[in-house]
Amino acid sequence: MTTYFKATYFDGKSSRAHDVDVQLDHGIERLVLRGTTIGKQAYPISEVKVAARVGNTPRFLYFDDGASLETAENDAVDEIVPALRHGRFHLAQHRVESKLGWITAICLLTIAIGWGTVSYGVPFLAKQVAFALPRDVDEQLGQGTMSALDEFAFKPSTLSKSDRDRLQQYFQELLTLSDLKAGEVELLFRASPVMGANALALPSGIVVMTDELVRLAHDDEEIIAVFAHEIGHIRERHSLRGVLQNSSVALLIAGATGDIAALTSIAATLPTLMVQLKYSRSFELEADDYAVDLLKQREIEPTKLGDILLRMTEMAGGDVDPAREGAFSDYLSTHPNSVERMQRIEEREAE
């Protein structure tokens, strides 16, 4: 068998192009070039390096003396690859890259691996790492957050001293039921016209409760339920895990696309944001689960948590119809839908 193809020959010393006809007699292992400007030249196949095929881009063959061939006849070049000692992997690679079936399969597989890594792999590893690190790390993370919030979002609490003392008492009782030490978590009261009825847990172990939330609660048990949820965030080290998970995802996107600039690109923002919000929602559910367990020990109905959550959602103008369908906006939220949280709390209580 003989392979023929047309190519352009460059001697490597100047940009002058020479048209040549190339011939390879299989079995003779010599590449013969014939052209009007260069006459006849022959190269043993061992002195030829064939560049890997990339789509249908012109193919280059390099010779040991610095000369090269450029040709558009990729299929003919593929025929001579088996005679070489290299390039078979790339031949297979091109076949995979250019067949629709393979592309579809690999595309689906990539999406599956990506989804699996983001949904299970990253959270699992982050949890292992977070619990292997000392609690000081969480505290470092939250340094300065409280003073910033005090400056921009909070005002001093206007609750009466007796109210605060009573709630503080409940909080400490609840802490003794958890496996956290009393000094590790602290409860603060603040008024916040900006945030409204809200409670938050800072990684440094500070739980902040707003006056607005205290007023929204129908009874103390609802407030205790919120305490339990916030203690859950601190107990499960959600801030540290969040930092670890979010930075891993950003690195993964950069690694997979081979593009460090992807981190700053506007286009990468939406998918990254949605993944981060998904993590945030799963932390909320985890904190709810922890709260349900704690409330059972304290002999408080866990549905108290659901009640106040629904009221908070209603206050914020949210939809609390139990028959409501899942909406796209659910995917763009830091917290899961309150109705679903309520159902989940009831299910866990029944267990």
By CB under 8 A, name the binding residues for other proteins. Answer: 6, 8, 10-17, 19, 51-52, 54-58, 60, 66-68, 70, 72, 93, 96-99, 102-103, 106-107, 109-110, 113-114, 117, 137, 140-141, 143, 192-196, 243-244, 247, 251, 255-258, 261, 265-271, 315-317
Question: CB of 165: closest distance to other proteins in angstroms?
Answer: 27
Task: Tell me the C-alpha distance between 218 and 46, whole Å.
Answer: 86
With beta carbons less than 8 A apart as the criterion, state whether 76 and 114 touch. Answer: no
> Which residue, 211 or 221, is less far from other proteins as judged by CB?
211
Question: CB of 98: closest distance to other proteins in angstroms?
Answer: 6
With beta carbons less than 8 A apart as the criterion, state whether 277 and 336 touch. Answer: no
> Which residue, 11 or 349, is less far from other proteins as judged by CB?
11
Question: CB of 351: closest distance to other proteins in angstroms?
Answer: 33
> Which residue, 13 or 161, is less far from other proteins as judged by CB?
13
Place of tokens 């030829």: 48
How far does CA 149 lie from the centroid of its chain? 27
> Which residue, 158 or 176, is less far from other proteins as judged by CB?
158
φ and ψ at 61, to 5 degrees?
Answer: -120, 130
266-297 helix and 338-350 helix, angle to the nearest 10 degrees: 40
With beta carbons less than 8 A apart as the criterion, state whether 188 and 206 touch. Answer: yes
Question: CB of 314: closest distance to other proteins in angstroms?
Answer: 11
> Which residue, 208 or 228, is less far from other proteins as judged by CB?
208
**Cα four-point dihedral sign 333, 193, 287, 218:** negative
Question: CB of 193: closest distance to other proteins in angstroms?
Answer: 6
Task: Tell me the C-alpha distance between 229 and 78, whole Å.
Answer: 64
